[in-house]
Homo-oligomer: A and B are copies of this chain.
């Protein structure tokens, strides 16, 4: 038998601790025997690992199940409530916030309306109110928040600086991560909103379990988010998914077919026009149908570029216009089938307006996992 020295043992023990946390996360409470079986460890080794994790605050014992024969076995669970995560969706017209436990289970949500033209300070104040509202709803103090994960309109750089946003004029050359760190005393992550929506659909929405997904944000503005190999694809300079900038892809002006359709009654507020056209097409208005056909013609060029380049398993239609998915999906499928090597599944978002804020939570959970399960990350921190 090998002469196992201290270094080997502590390495083995840390690996075992992480394996145990991984097994307990997401599963219900497990007995020592069940944990030992799932991890391939001996029961005595497993006991030592759980004792250590309890001392560090990651795991707790739960009361034994009722009605078992003989001496009931001890059971353990991951303490998902030992910390909290906050997700924020910064849109043109709304700020949404959500609070979750470390497993990403959502405990509270808030929404704050805001005007697209609101100055920077006003928008930051609305973000703070939305987050504070979540904390108050769930009686959580800001010190219990480990991580704030933010999805925003606009293009951002790798440091979380907003470079430019067509939807929010004040959102330009802004150190958003820095501004939020001044308000919230924890780690802040900034990501593009379409990417987080793509993530949410892949984690809990219509694309659950899919590895390669193209998310199309269709609404008054057009955007896209890519999931590759189960992970958000940011690109080298955090600028991936910006196909709308290519004139030949015909995305930039595509919504105008719906906004300016002759079927829209005079006096309709501009931001309701596209919705009116989509509803009229559903009801069979030939002028509206013609406008929808032209809209999907344009949408399909940029979408086909993404499908031909990525060959994803699924295309998800999200954003405001996806409420009219029944009018859009078959028309988009027909054009993609004609243009592409292989037609992926084409489905509508199931998370709707929540997809960005939910995606922000999922992104925070993934970030936490990466920090936890990185090899050689050093000893586990104490959580209480």
Write the residues of chain A forming the contact surface with B, with a CB cutoff of 8 angstroms: 1-5, 7-9, 11-13, 16, 40-42, 44-45, 48, 155, 211-212, 224, 226, 228-229, 231, 233-243, 245-246, 248-250, 301, 304-306, 308-313, 339-342, 344
Contact = CB atoms under 8 A, between A and B. Distances in A.
A250 B4 CA distance: 64
Given A212-B235, A235-B311, A240-B309, 9 more contacts: A2-B13, A3-B45, A7-B41, A8-B42, A212-B236, A228-B228, A246-B301, A246-B308, A248-B250
A227 to B, nearest CB: 11
One complex includes copies of this chain to the number of: 2
A308 B246 CA distance: 8
A258 to B, nearest CB: 21
B240 A233 contact: no
A3 B240 contact: no
A4 B4 contact: yes
A244 B192 CA distance: 29
A208 to B, nearest CB: 15
Contacts of A5: 42, 44-45
Given A155-B341, A246-B305, A305-B243, A311 B42 contact: no
Contact of A308 (B1, B238, B243): B243
A304 B41 contact: no
B2 A45 contact: yes
Nearest to A12: B12
B42 A4 contact: yes
Given A246-B339, A250-B248, A339-B245, A229 B229 contact: yes
B311 A309 contact: no
B246 A304 contact: yes
A248 B42 CA distance: 61
A212 B211 CA distance: 18
Nearest to A229: B229
Contacts of A313: 236
A199 to B, nearest CB: 16
Name the residue in A48, A249, A313 with the highest tally of chain B Cβ atoms < 10 Å from its Cβ.
A249
Contact of A44 (B3, B211, B339): B3
A339 B248 CA distance: 11
Given A2-B44, A41-B8, A242 B311 contact: yes
Contacts of A240: 309-311
A143 to B, nearest CB: 35
A226 B12 contact: no
Contacts of A45: 2-5, 8
A231 B48 CA distance: 39
Contacts of A13: 2
22 contacts: A1-B9, A3-B45, A4-B45, A5-B42, A7-B41, A7-B42, A8-B16, A12-B12, A224-B309, A228-B228, A228-B233, A235-B311, A235-B312, A238-B311, A239-B308, A240-B311, A245-B341, A246-B308, A248-B248, A248-B301, A249-B305, A305-B309
A241 B309 contact: yes
A212 B312 CA distance: 17
A280 B308 CA distance: 34
Contacts of A239: 308, 311, 340-342
Nearest to A245: B308
A16 B3 CA distance: 14
